[in-house]
Structure 1
Amino acid sequence: MKNYKTMKMILLLSLSASAITACSSQGNDKGNTSTSKPSTENNQTEVTPPDPFGKYAEPVTVTEVLGFNPPEDSRTPKGITPDQNAYFKDLKEMMNIEVKYKWTVPSSQFEQKFSLAMASGDLPDILELDPKNFEKLKKQDMLADLTEAYEQYASPTLKKYMESDGGFAMKTYNADGKQLAIPAFEDPFLSTQLLWIRKDWLDNLNLQAPTTIDELEKVAEAFVKNDPDQNKQNDTYGISLQKTLFFWGFDVRGLFNGFGAYPSIGDAQTAWIKNGEDKLIPGLIQPEVKTALSKLQSWYQNGILNKEFALKDENKAVEDLTSGKVGISYGEWWYPNWPLNLNIDKDPKAEWIAVQIPGLDGPAKSLVPKIRAGKVFAVNKKAKNPEAAIKMINFYIEMGNKQYLEKNKAENGYVYNWFNPRIYNPAQIETIYTEVNKALDAKQTEITLDDENYKNVADVFKAGTDFLAGNTKDASKGVNWGQYYSRAAKDGGWGTTRKIKESGAFVNNEFYGLPTKTQVEKGAQLDKLMQESFTKIIMGASIDEFDKFVSSWKSLGGDDITAEVNAWYGEQAKN
């Protein structure tokens, strides 16, 4: 990569020369801005460009808030808290940036807490936003213009990532020539729904992995009634489900997809599918959704779903999966990495596999977005150092390089899923899959890749080779299996997803614009209506309640949203 080795040398030199930098900055509070020096040619002044990895002369403090899940790697020291994340120590040493949390809460409480913070105007410097909250803060003129900060401070690698889609995602978050956020966009197929199922339970009951809804029902009933774990106790149920029906995990998006229903892309975002060539319709109110709800109701009555699902958040759903109470869950490619790895470590006999979601007549099509950018990073307009957010992204990317591999480990207190803002290579998962399998097929003993992807590829390669060899010296079986089976195994999470992509077994969510005016104003109310109506139906209310829901959804703003979405769709067709 152009100038990349130069950048790494600059970063290393900045560490050893930090004391000199601090003394010689003459009070410059940025310590890495453009500087001028006389030129020997024509007495002109040369301008030294800002250093993406430069260290501030004086400490710069930025504030954040965090909604967090437990560390994904079980080797993380017990009792560590987000403010103790080892990344922060390196960030301070390398760039003289200190992170202070205004508050931290479990991820299940984040949305409510952040809504209160927005209402009171008590926002941190660096903001992790979903599209709706981005649109709200944009309209309130609360977001800093990052155009200059990005142009001056984004590392070559960050710019390469942001330009990998032709700059499309960046343009989505640019308003009136102002870059208001940096999108964390990824391969859209990372959203592909799979069915995760315990193969050891299938084997114990002499059953095959299901390919249809009817087969799934029979397997799930057997998991309830036939003692699949062979412990001689009636303590298992069929399919995992938590109270938020359309979420980021442990929900039923994949089950609805099996009925040809596409109500949501996750996190309560309504999906929009084609109706002919020139119109989009909301998947949430289509007849297929009613059919799926009727099936869920019967499964609830028969004990296939846990009777207390309406009281379970995602953490409780995870507890059931890891403790061996349930053997089926819909979800994405990453489940082996967490939480299924925890189940493997608790029960060495446990074996999970991924299959394409069952449908009415055979394997079904999953809903896949055209753009996957569920979160973006923005900066509070009041922040004193907006460029610090860009430099922190540079830092996180840099920490994936080979030189940091021995240091940057979970057992040393590095918790990557607690660090923000973080941006990944949009093609990272495919890079890992390709490079690891290339090395495994060639029977290599180490990874020879030498770029910013090295750490991720090398970690998965080592986990895979250790798992395949039964080596648990450096990590548990679950940790090794989780990294390998999620990212590199040809029949694992991403391996199965790739086959679905290649076979065309997916349906696109056609709306990828920012939330419309009515979505911002009425979205939360409509989401609540859906959640309450669908939960009541699953728990036994008349299936005709769905028709009442559709009528209410349309009159309370759904029709307006449909018109706005189609106005947007019409504009795209012209471009």
Structure 2
Amino acid sequence: MNRLKQTLKKCVAFGVTGIMLILAGCKSPAGFVSNDNEEYNARMEEARTTPFGAYPETIEYTLGKMTSVNNSNMPENDTYTDNAYTRYIKSVINVQNVDVFEANDSQYDTNVSMVISMGSLPDIMVVSSQDEVEQLVEAGLIEDLTESYNNCISDRIRKMYESYGDSLKDMVTYDGKIMALPETNITDGPNLVWLRKDWMDKLGLSEPHTIDDVVNIVKHFISEDPGNNGVDASGKPNTVGLAVDTDVTGECGYSSEFLLDIIFACFGAYPKQWIMNDDGEIVYGSVTDEAKEALSYINSLYNQGVIDNDFLLRTSTNICELIENGLCGSFFGPWWAPNNPLANAVSRNPDADWQPYLIATDSDGTTSYHSQNPCYKYVVVRKGYEHPEIAAKMISVMFDKVRFDCTDSEEFKNYYQLNVEPTARPLSINVDYNNALSICYRNIDATISGRKNPDSLELLERSFYDACSEYIKNANKTSTQWAAYMSRIKACSLIAQDNIKVVDSLYFKTTDTMKSHWWRLKAKEKEAYLKIISGEEDISYFDRFVKEWNEQGGQTITSEVSESMK
């Protein structure tokens, strides 16, 4: 088998041909072996039909493996086929991955597209879109996982899935059959405004509650220079305004930094989202009257210098450098912003007191934000594979047993301390409760305050509790401890409040017209938004953009989305 693994790794370098040859020859390296022994057969049946039953012999499965840079931060000598996750999975259910290909980011998606087009899949792999699942279903290339889901998804994992309502199950059900196992994209809540409180204190400024408060604070940061950044040769302040990414707003996937969604929400606008308007119609949020009003306001902020006037030239790396070097004291970002870029900023300057604030978007003091796609990745199993239940069993082991039964595992604790990435797992996904952030925050907060026993925390919560406790107790705090406390306690306490409303994003698939026109319409949208914000075009240009957007496929796409939602 070692020779087989070496051969598999070599074949990756051969591209399509190598992958195809390996898949053709290795459909099931160690599948079911007939045995008349009654005990053996009973154990095999238990393994096939329960979440945690162990196979009587090691079952090897071929895997398309998503990886990451720096070996996913795993300890030295750990690999994608031999690490804390694979060893534990083998010890519990006795299965082992044999990676057909290992690739990260876009190269992984390219490899997935290749094996789909060849019609020759590894036994198990993760795909990155619902469209790919549909393609595989229509081609008859993947297994029906209904029985596997019913038998081998643990009760706790089932409750995690159910916390998203019917949305997750609906996304993987075709003609009444569950054809893939979804990951979960937990609710990140609204973006917060992150501000240099040490600068605010120096200037005697109160904490913000509205966007007007934020604008006032940023103006003072620039004009009064609490960071002592001075001016350039032309007399322009070196302190910049709100850091903004050229994407301007987020799409319907994971949360991102340096975006202006909260400002748009102040006007009831949700760009890049398919939402329901007041008339009960599905509309694309980038082309509404509310979006136009928001853009006009954002242009005024740009003209006042409240938004960094060089944002069109910035990369995300450059923005992070501004923050780390103390040249920027304000940006909108999610709860996890302390991990990146703020941990580096605080490490470089421990006096930089970055704090999060929740901004009201509505007149009644509540904060509205659009929901995210509840699932971005899907686990699929090759049609005809002898043990399709393995996928469900691994999900149950990784996201139930590891987290709730391995709280004393030094190996897994070490993984969290090393910030080992999720790509170290055989299945590079996450499964958790929809409100996992609030659950984690409340459990850690209760433990810190003495209302809960630390031994009752699950593995992830315990790792964050330990870091937060060290932050509270120690005079010499590390940036990692600071990041854990600021994200998991300070930021999450804000997004766990009751004065937050969710506007549902309704559509995450690709219509027929989108396949040929969407990339062009997205480029047109980005160009129009940037031109209006920067003043290259006045606000009347928005009407021209909307007209052309509709004429060039947008209206047809809107009709397709509406029809699919009936």
- Is TM (by shorter chain) over 0.5? yes
Query: Structure 2 vs 1, CA of residues 78 and 307 (structure 1 numbering), >3 Å: closer, same or farther?
Result: farther
Deviation at 1:140, TM superposition (A): 5.4
Counterpart residue number, 2:290: 288
Counterpart residue number, 2:209: 211
Whether contact under 8 Å (2:532, 2:541) holds in the other structure is: yes
Counterpart residue number, 2:376: 375
1:367-406 matches, within 5 Å, as 367-369=369-371, 372-379=373-380, 381=382, 384=385, 386-397=388-399, 398-400=401-403, 401-406=405-410
**Residue identity in the other structure for 1:64:** K
Whether contact under 8 Å (2:193, 2:333) holds in the other structure is: yes
Deviation at 1:527, TM superposition (A): 1.9
2: CA distance between counterparts of 1:65 and 1:399?
A: 20
Whether contact under 8 Å (1:357, 1:365) holds in the other structure is: yes
2: CA distance between counterparts of 1:179 and 1:438?
A: 38
Query: Structure 2 vs 1, CA of residues 387 and 298 (structure 1 numbering), >3 Å: closer, same or farther?
Result: same
Could you tell which deviates more after superposition, 419-428 or 302-311?
302-311
- Unmatched 5+ residue regions in structure 2? 1-27, 232-236
Whether contact under 8 Å (1:193, 1:366) holds in the other structure is: no
Whether contact under 8 Å (1:181, 1:376) holds in the other structure is: no
Counterpart residue number, 2:554: 558
Deviation at 1:399, TM superposition (A): 2.0
Query: Structure 2 vs 1, CA of residues 464 and 412 (structure 1 numbering), >3 Å: closer, same or farther?
Result: closer
Query: Structure 2 vs 1, CA of residues 215 and 223 (structure 1 numbering), >3 Å: closer, same or farther?
Result: same
**Residue identity in the other structure for 1:263:** P
Report Cα offsets for 1:363-409 as digits up to 9, x if no partner.
Answer: 5632232x751413232646956444333322321221344542212
Counterpart residue number, 1:459: 463
Whether contact under 8 Å (1:132, 1:520) holds in the other structure is: no
2: CA distance between counterparts of 1:273 and 1:508?
A: 9
Report Cα offsets for 1:425-446 as digits up to 9, x if no partner.
Answer: 33422322222222233366x5
Deviation at 1:416, TM superposition (A): 3.7
2: CA distance between counterparts of 1:218 and 1:284?
A: 27
Deviation at 1:148, TM superposition (A): 3.4
Of 209, 226, 232, 1:228 maps to: 226
- Unmatched 5+ residue regions in structure 1? 1-26, 265-269
Deviation at 1:114, TM superposition (A): 7.5
Answering whether residue 333 of structure 2 is matched by residue 331 of structure 1, we say yes
Query: Structure 2 vs 1, CA of residues 261 and 45 (structure 1 numbering), >3 Å: closer, same or farther?
Result: closer
Could you tell which deviates more after superposition, 355-364 or 151-160?
355-364
Whether contact under 8 Å (1:65, 1:101) holds in the other structure is: no
Report Cα offsets for 1:402-425 as digits up to 9, x if no partner.
Answer: 445422124775614334133123
SS at match of 1:228: coil
1:105-124 matches, within 5 Å, as 105=104
Query: Structure 2 vs 1, CA of residues 28 and 59 (structure 1 numbering), >3 Å: closer, same or farther?
Result: closer
Whether contact under 8 Å (1:64, 1:99) holds in the other structure is: no
Answering whether residue 149 of structure 2 is matched by residue 150 of structure 1, we say yes
SS at match of 2:350: coil
Whether contact under 8 Å (2:90, 2:96) holds in the other structure is: yes
Deviation at 1:311, TM superposition (A): 4.8
**Residue identity in the other structure for 1:391:** K
Report Cα offsets for 1:521-545 as digits up to 9, x if no partner.
Answer: 5333322221222223333321333
Query: Structure 2 vs 1, CA of residues 38 and 470 (structure 1 numbering), >3 Å: closer, same or farther?
Result: closer
SS at match of 2:411: coil
Answering whether residue 518 of structure 2 is matched by residue 523 of structure 1, we say yes
2: CA distance between counterparts of 1:240 and 1:258?
A: 19
1: CA distance between counterparts of 2:303 and 2:331?
A: 18
Deviation at 1:174, TM superposition (A): 0.4
**Residue identity in the other structure for 1:273:** M
Counterpart residue number, 1:19: none
SS at match of 2:455: coil
Deviation at 1:298, TM superposition (A): 4.3
TM-score of the pair, normalised by structure 2: 0.77
1: CA distance between counterparts of 2:242 and 2:107?
A: 26
1: CA distance between counterparts of 2:245 and 2:377?
A: 26
1: CA distance between counterparts of 2:177 and 2:395?
A: 19
Deviation at 1:89, TM superposition (A): 5.1
2: CA distance between counterparts of 1:33 and 1:146?
A: 23
**Residue identity in the other structure for 1:274:** N
**Sequence identity (%):** 23
SS at match of 1:148: helix
TM-score of the pair, normalised by structure 1: 0.76
Of 256, 262, 267, 1:249 maps to: 256
2: CA distance between counterparts of 1:239 and 1:46?
A: 60
Could you tell which deviates more after superposition, 77-86 or 382-391?
77-86
Whether contact under 8 Å (1:64, 1:102) holds in the other structure is: yes
Query: Structure 2 vs 1, CA of residues 97 and 235 (structure 1 numbering), >3 Å: closer, same or farther?
Result: farther
SS at match of 1:48: helix
Report Cα offsets for 1:286-305 as digits up to 9, x if no partner.
Answer: 12322332343344455444
Query: Structure 2 vs 1, CA of residues 381 and 535 (structure 1 numbering), >3 Å: closer, same or farther?
Result: farther
Of 472, 487, 501, 1:468 maps to: 472
SS at match of 1:399: helix
Counterpart residue number, 1:160: 159
Query: Structure 2 vs 1, CA of residues 341 and 176 (structure 1 numbering), >3 Å: closer, same or farther?
Result: same
Deviation at 1:249, TM superposition (A): 0.7
**Residue identity in the other structure for 2:162:** E
Deviation at 1:550, TM superposition (A): 0.7
Whether contact under 8 Å (1:237, 1:325) holds in the other structure is: yes
Query: Structure 2 vs 1, CA of residues 288 and 274 (structure 1 numbering), >3 Å: closer, same or farther?
Result: closer
SS at match of 1:52: coil
